[in-house]
Amino acid sequence: MSNLNITSTKQNTFDAIIIGSGISGGWAAKEFTEKGLKTLVLERGRDVKHIIDYPTTNKYPYEFEHLGELALNIKSANPIVSRCYSFSEESEHFFVKDNEHPYIQDKPFDWIRGYQVGGKSLTWARQTQRWSNFDFEGPARDGFAVDWPIRYKDIASWYTYVERFAGISGNKDGLSTLPDGDFLPAFPLNAAEDYFKKKISTKYPDRHVINARCAHLTKPKPIHIEQYRGTCLNRILCNRGCPFGGYFSSNASTLPWAQKTGNMTLRPFSLVHSIIYDDKKEKATGVRVIDTNTKEEIEYYANIIFVNASTLNTNLILLNSTSNRFPNGLGNDSGTLGKYIAFHNFGANITAELNGLKQYTTDGRNPSGGGYIPRFRNVFKQETNFLRGYSAELAASRSPVTDTKGVGADLKKHLIAPELGPWSIGAYFMGETIPKESNTVSLDSEQKDAWGIPLLKINVDYDDNDSKMKTDFLEQFTEMFTEAGFKNIQRKSFIQSPGLDIHEMGGARMGHDPKTSILNKWNQIHTCKNVFVTDGASMTSTSTQNPSLTYMALTARAVDFAIGEMKKGNI
Amino acid sequence: MNRRSAIKNLAIVTGGVLVLPSCLQRPTSIKLNNLNLDLEQENLLSEIAEAIIPATNTPGAKMLELHLLVMKMVDDCHEREDQYKFVNGLKEIDNNCNEIFNKPFIKLGLTQKVEFLLGIENNKFEKADITHFYHIMKSRTIQAYMNSKYVMTNLVKYELAPARYNGYFPVKI
């Protein structure tokens, strides 16, 4: 028997274990395997193989049973995920259904999840901007959360590193608020977006409209061809999975790359119960896994463990990883684990019309969405009655206007030859929220899921700062559209539950001090040096940029550090 | 043969024994889970759809079987109340046609069909279920038409992969 145990222990031992195969886990897999480490990638959901497992990718609208619309029985059984803009007949197989994985909402929280190989990297919105020092210095300057233990210089070269491989399209805009990257050509602005850009730059020297930066291959380089990825063909059917690998996903990019090294073992249907901490060795030795098909419990061992389970599930795993040394969750001496959750506020937009430029329209489709306006509020100094600020996505188009009155031959004629409406432009608010101790996730003491893991209780809400900021956005953009000569300005303000932004961050934040944070400047648990967290859980604050590019850069940087530490014998 | 005369005839054949109408229902050509419709009603839907999108020098609703997609959408994607009003409103079509023209919708000439439908569109029946039916029927028929393979490959071409984006595409004013 003891021989058997030794054999099975050996079989279950790797150099590194990565929990999660989404956008950050995929990067960890690539980096470890490329550097020769035998790596186990654990994914709680099913496998999704690039192209093969994209069942809807090449369907025409009329090939869907309901033209892409969701049947009512699916919507009423899944009110939470049905609120997600990306959940449709085209993509529903890439989203967790409400009843499959329950959680407790102490306050309303729409937790949008993708339990499959590749995670939400299949369905993300692909907007990729670097952070600047205005973001990393934010908490220290404005006195909230804790100081970020890194600055832009610490991560700049890692942004370049991940951008080159992932393929990011954009322009070098020379803005201090949004550092330039290593870009493929940008998707162009259209006539109305360009017009707005020019008007704004004359009137407001500190406000900039730029071409949105996104993870699409506009002009693939040899490194992308080597991944078997091709030019983006402007389909904008990205959330079905792209057969060309035109946008970046773990499935199209990092995971096949890791597979090719021969060093990766990918294990789907593997739910991590907890991380095993050895009190004597004073480090983590492995993970406890439940096979979701057989319900069998299996232990896997490794010297380095990366937690990339997605923000809230990473918190759940750490909270559930209790030991004599860490009775309140792994690395949680400070008591901050599961606290200071923050997100992005998308609860406003504003649209307007332009009475000119009728000689132009758009042809084809723009996968980047259009333009992007980096934060211009409270950048160089505090100037408003709220902290921080917001960015905005900008998109203009001309919609067909169809006369649908009546029936018969005339109606038919109008339908197939509609008139072009005026240019309509929209700006979409994305506000930074302030991490607060009261925004928490925790484990329920009684209720458990189908695998015996405590349910996650989510207690996250907006605050006064969020509503003041939203008011300012609507005022500023009303003024900007008015100044630029737009008419029929329509303001929309609404409250969507936190979570629906799918930008939840924090809970295991980085910081200088083990007394007030979980991770150090290398995304390494202060008090358990061989465990790293490099997904959204590690974020100290949220900035106004989309977060994924920063997760990728932090991950590659942390792997590099971990391997160095391993070689030095420190972990 | 409409259903009433069918029942009458059958009643004669069976010697006056009352037969439940449900036994006489011929099933629709597609399986429905929520809507209680029979083949005769399906044919009526097909006639209404054809009046909305008629065959001209290009195919109309009948040839494109738009009414089947309308039935599918209403059956799977609408609330119960909508479904109830849809079926009820459909029944009111022939009730009203019989009252106004003394014949069912299917027997009307094209001008009368159009006149009748425009009447509903212009709120002749106000808040009755027939109006509710008509709005669902018309918008779903238009949707089915615009998303049909015929239109998407011949008239308003849908490109799966445009492979281009021009933000300054010239148009004649």
Q: What is the pLDDT of residue A4?
A: 60
Q: What is the pLDDT of residue B23?
A: 54
∠ at Cα A99 (A92, A294), nearest 5°? 95
Residue (of A199, A197, A185) closest to A367 by Cα position: A185
Question: Could you count the other beta carbons within 10 Å of the beta carbon of residue A452?
Answer: 10
Do B127 and B120 meet the contact criterion of CB atoms below 8 Å apart?
A: no
The phi and psi torsions of A423 (rounded to 5 degrees) equal -65, 130
Token readout for A379 is: 């950048």
For the four alpha carbons of A546, A551, A554 and A556, in that order, the dihedral sign comes to negative
**Cα(A153)–Cα(B64) distance, rounded to whole angstroms?**
62
End-to-end CA distance of chain B: 53
Strand pairing class (A39-42; A13-19): parallel
What is the rounded radius of gyration, in angstroms, for the C-alpha atoms of chain A?
24
Do A507 and A541 meet the contact criterion of CB atoms below 8 Å apart?
A: no
Q: What is the pLDDT of residue A3?
A: 59
Token readout for A470 is: 């939203």
**Each residue's pLDDT tens digit in chain B (173 positions)?**
444 444 444 444 444 444 445 556 799 999 999 999 999 999 999 999 999 999 999 999 999 999 999 999 999 999 999 999 999 999 999 999 999 999 999 999 999 999 999 999 999 998 899 999 999 999 999 999 999 999 999 999 999 999 999 999 999 88
**Helix boundaries (H) for A329-400:** none
Bridge partners (DSSP) of residue A354 are: A423
Element (H, E) at A554: helix A548-567
Residues 6+ apart with CB under 8 A from A210: A170, A171, A173, A175, A178, A197, A371, A372, A373, A374
Residues of chain A falling short of pLDDT 70: 1-4
Do A501 and A527 meet the contact criterion of CB atoms below 8 Å apart?
A: no
Residues of A in contact with B166 (CB under 8 A): 188, 362-364
Tell me if B152 and A365 make a contact (CB, 8 A cut-off). no
Minimal-distance CA residue of chain A relative to B154: A416
Residue pointed to by tokens 């924090």: A506
Residue pointed to by tokens 């998707």: A187
End-to-end CA distance of chain A: 31
| A173 Cα to chain B: minimum distance (Å) | 19
Residues of B in contact with A191 (CB under 8 A): 167-168
* Nearest by CB: A66 against B76, B117, B165: B76
Tell me if A233 and B163 make a contact (CB, 8 A cut-off). yes
- Predicted complex ipTM: 0.94
Residue pointed to by tokens 């808040």: B127
Residue at A103: amino acid letter:
Y
Do A340 and B151 meet the contact criterion of CB atoms below 8 Å apart?
A: no
> A12-29: b or e for each residue (b if 16 or more CB lie within 10 Å)?
bbbbbbbbbbbbbbbbbb
Query: In a 3-state reduction of DSSP, which class is residue B165?
Result: strand
Counting DSSP H helices and E strands in chain B, the numbers are 9, 1
**Cα(A92)–Cα(A74) distance, rounded to whole angstroms?**
9
Do A389 and A378 meet the contact criterion of CB atoms below 8 Å apart?
A: yes
Minimal-distance CA residue of chain B relative to A396: B167
∠ at Cα A147 (A142, A153), nearest 5°? 105
Residue (of A6, A32, A30) closest to A563 by Cα position: A32
Chain B contact for A399, CB < 8 A?
A: no
Tell me if B76 and A72 make a contact (CB, 8 A cut-off). yes
For the four alpha carbons of A201, A206, A212 and A214, in that order, the dihedral sign comes to positive
Tell me if A412 and B164 make a contact (CB, 8 A cut-off). no
Q: What is the pLDDT of residue A8?
A: 79
Bridge partners (DSSP) of residue A297 are: A290
B interface residues, A as partner, C-beta within 8 Å: 51-54, 56, 58, 60, 69, 72-73, 76-79, 114, 117-118, 121, 138, 142-149, 151-152, 155-156, 158, 160-171, 173
Q: pTM (2 decimals)? A: 0.94
Minimal-distance CA residue of chain A relative to B147: A62
In DSSP notation, A298-342 reads EEEEEEEEEE-S-HHHHHHHHHH---SS-TTSTT-TTS-TTEEEE
Question: Could you count the other beta carbons within 10 Å of the beta carbon of residue A489?
Answer: 17
**Cα(A555)–Cα(A121) distance, rounded to whole angstroms?**
15
**Cα(A518)–Cα(A229) distance, rounded to whole angstroms?**
38
Residue (of A353, A376, A339) closest to A469 by Cα position: A376
Tell me if A358 and B173 make a contact (CB, 8 A cut-off). yes
Interface test with A, best of B50, B65, B70, B77 (most A CBs within 10 A): B77
**What is the per-residue pLDDT across B154-165, written as a single tens digit (0 to 9) for each?**
999 999 999 999
Token readout for A503 is: 């930008």
Q: Locate the DSSP E strands across A131-215.
A: 210-211
**Cα(A242)–Cα(A230) distance, rounded to whole angstroms?**
10
Tell me if B158 and A358 make a contact (CB, 8 A cut-off). no
CB pairs under 8 A between A and B: 122
Burial class (CB in 10 A: 0-12, 13-18, 19+), B47: buried
Taken as a whole, chain B contains a residue count of: 173
Do A533 and A518 meet the contact criterion of CB atoms below 8 Å apart?
A: yes
**Cα(A423)–Cα(A352) distance, rounded to whole angstroms?**
8
What is the rounded radius of gyration, in angstroms, for the C-alpha atoms of chain B?
19
Tell me if B73 and A69 make a contact (CB, 8 A cut-off). yes
| A221 Cα to chain B: minimum distance (Å) | 18
**Cα(A313)–Cα(A456) distance, rounded to whole angstroms?**
8
Residues 6+ apart with CB under 8 A from A518: A318, A331, A332, A334, A336, A337, A508, A509, A510, A511, A525, A526, A533
Bridge partners (DSSP) of residue A400 are: A420
Bridge partners (DSSP) of residue A41 are: A18, A266
Residues of B in contact with A62 (CB under 8 A): 147-149, 152
